[in-house]
Amino acid sequence: MLSLQVFQRLLADYSVDTNRERDLRTGFSIPFRLTLGGMAQFVMKPMWGINYVTHEKFSLPQLDAHIDMKGDTLTIGRYFTEMLDPSMNWDDVERMVAEWGGPFCLKGVISVEDAKKAAEIGCQGIVLSNHGGRQLDGSRSGFDQLEEIVQAVGDKVDVMVDGGFQRGTHVLKALALGAKAVGLGRAYLYALAAAGQPGIERMLTQMTAEINRDMRLMGVTRVYDLTPDMLRSR
């Protein structure tokens, strides 16, 4: 269903900035601000400190025209907070779909009703997501909603999903329920933080090996052979 055209994606699962309690507790900020905790981490992990002073300084080129990167440590946080528009509604999304004029994906869908509305206004794809589960404590995950939404709109839009997928078996379960694609966030970010590009390459190699091996164990040779009856709820 999806073509190789530019695919516009609108993020709808992040309309309000969150509390970020861990960042508040640790004093994390951008630009970096040295704290006692940070100094202790540098002592325990000296390569972090060496890399920090010897590598290119942190920057967000896409934001340079909008914020002062040399300003105080709250500048970027304020930017992201002010950038979000909690008043955005379906009329806004429909107008963006029309103005874009090409394949359009709405990310952050979590209910059947919203999935149906996205299909109705012309979205070619949707990504089921609760923004990693840190936006609203206790909300259902994209995987929890996947089967029901695929049954409701899977013949109208490409249904994709993300949120907590870190193993090959996780990916296969989502594909078996009808997902056209599975997004990986923490899987590559953890690898990137631990070992840079080699870490990501190793993660992708392991993920590919897991998927291939587990498909063989399931007795299937193609992704299209994965079906919901291969799964059982515990």
Cα 94 versus chain centre, distance: 23
Tokens of 7: 């695919």
Give me the catalytic one of 55, 66, 131, 170: 131
Q: Active site includes 131?
A: yes
Quote the CA–CA distance of 110 and 127 in Å, as a whole number. 8
Tokens of 10: 């609108």
Task: Give the three-class secondary structure for 158.
Answer: strand
Length of the chain: 234
Beta bridge mates, 105: 9, 125
Instruction: Give the neighbor-by-neighbor strand order of the sheet with 158-162.
Output: 8-11, 104-109, 125-128, 158-162, 181-183
| Helix intervals (H) in the chain | 21-26, 36-44, 46-54, 75-83, 90-100, 112-120, 142-153, 168-176, 186-218
Question: Are 169 and 210 spatial neighbours (Cβ–Cβ below 8 Å)?
Answer: yes
Quote the CA–CA distance of 142 and 52 in Å, as a whole number. 36
Other CB atoms within a 10 A radius of the CB of residue 112 amount to 14
What are residue 10's phi and psi, to 5 degrees? -110, 130
Question: Which residues have a catalytic role annotated?
Answer: 131
